[in-house]
């Protein structure tokens, strides 16, 4: 029986105009789309892959596929949701292909991202922040795939229940159930007090954002 999904938010004001500009090969429009959505797409890709370099590669491929079929975007969902679906499909497709050719170990060691932190005059506080963020990464990476994707979408990326359900093609109730289980698993490794730092997890900005943006723009032949 097909899942009954709650309607996802439609395109936000200005998105269709931005898409129209991109369809007209406006380089600034492409760059705006990429920079606006880089962090969300990267977090989602990494939530599936548990590897930052693979996540970057997936996001780049997803952008190229999305821009090649941008005329298919009708605004029935937000551009963020539309792009996120492409990233999810690209990531899951890569996982399926990898599992067909490589026997994965039972407990693969995830690559830990070293997060840039805000400068602080207190070295002990800076070290504590690093340790907390590493705990967040490790706890998230240790989740089973089915829970990790929901956890990243809802808790780290901040998508709504309806957006997450639409993104993953499941019922909203399924999202709630998986999220409850994911949180229970994470709580085994994390203290309740560190919740607010989740908003800083898996950043994708600065030079990394610029590098991926430039790579996509060059592949679209919009920048030398």
Q: Do residues 88 and 128 share a domain? A: no
Q: Do residues 96 and 18 share a domain? A: yes
Q: So what's the pLDDT on residue 1?
A: 35
Dist CA 74 CA 77 (whole Å): 8
Q: Do residues 52 and 79 share a domain? A: yes
Q: Do residues 141 and 96 share a domain? A: no
Whether residue 191 has pLDDT greater than 90: no
Whether residue 127 has pLDDT greater than 60: yes
Q: So what's the pLDDT on residue 66?
A: 95
- The whole-chain average pLDDT of the chain stands at 78
Predicted confidence band at 12 (pLDDT cuts at 50, 70, 90)? low
Q: So what's the pLDDT on residue 102?
A: 46
Predicted confidence band at 143 (pLDDT cuts at 50, 70, 90)? confident
Q: Do residues 84 and 141 share a domain? A: no
Please give the residue range of the domain that contains residue 69.
Answer: 11-103+203-224
Q: What is the mean pLDDT of residues 6-28?
A: 79
- Per residue in 68-126, pLDDT (tens digit) is 999 999 888 889 989 998 998 898 888 777 766 544 444 434 333 333 444 445 565 56
Within-domain flag for 188: yes
CATH code at 165?
1.10.10.10
- Per residue in 197-208, pLDDT (tens digit) is 555 666 777 778
Within-domain flag for 186: yes
Q: Do residues 161 and 98 share a domain? A: no
Number of domains, the chain: 2
Q: Do residues 166 and 222 share a domain? A: no
Most confident by average pLDDT, 37-51, 59-73, 159-173, 184-198: 59-73
């Amino acid at each position: 029986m097909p899942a009954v999904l709650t309607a996802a938010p439609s395109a936000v004001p200005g998105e269709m105009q931005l898409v129209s500009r991109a369809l007209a090969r406006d380089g600034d429009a492409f760059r705006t789309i990429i920079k606006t959505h880089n962090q969300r797409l990267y977090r989602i890709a990494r939530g599936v892959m548990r590897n930052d370099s693979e996540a970057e590669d997936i996001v780049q491929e997803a952008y190229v596929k999305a821009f090649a079929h941008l005329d298919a975007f009708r605004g029935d969902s937000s551009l963020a949701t539309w792009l996120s679906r492409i990233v999810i499909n690209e990531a899951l497709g890569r996982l399926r292909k990898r599992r067909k050719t490589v026997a994965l170990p039972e407990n693969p060691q995830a690559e830990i991202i070293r997060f840039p932190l805000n400068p602080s005059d207190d070295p002990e506080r800076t070290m504590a922040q690093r340790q907390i963020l590493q705990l967040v990464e490790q706890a998230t990476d240790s989740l089973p795939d089915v829970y990790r994707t929901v956890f990243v979408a809802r808790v780290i990326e901040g998508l709504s229940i309806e957006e997450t359900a639409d993104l993953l093609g499941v019922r909203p109730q399924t999202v709630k159930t998986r999220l409850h289980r994911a949180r229970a698993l994470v709580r085994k490794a994390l203290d309740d007090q560190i919740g607010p730092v989740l908003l800083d997890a898996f950043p994708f900005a600065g030079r990394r954002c610029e590098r991926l943006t430039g790579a996509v723009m060059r592949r679209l032949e919009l920048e030398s």
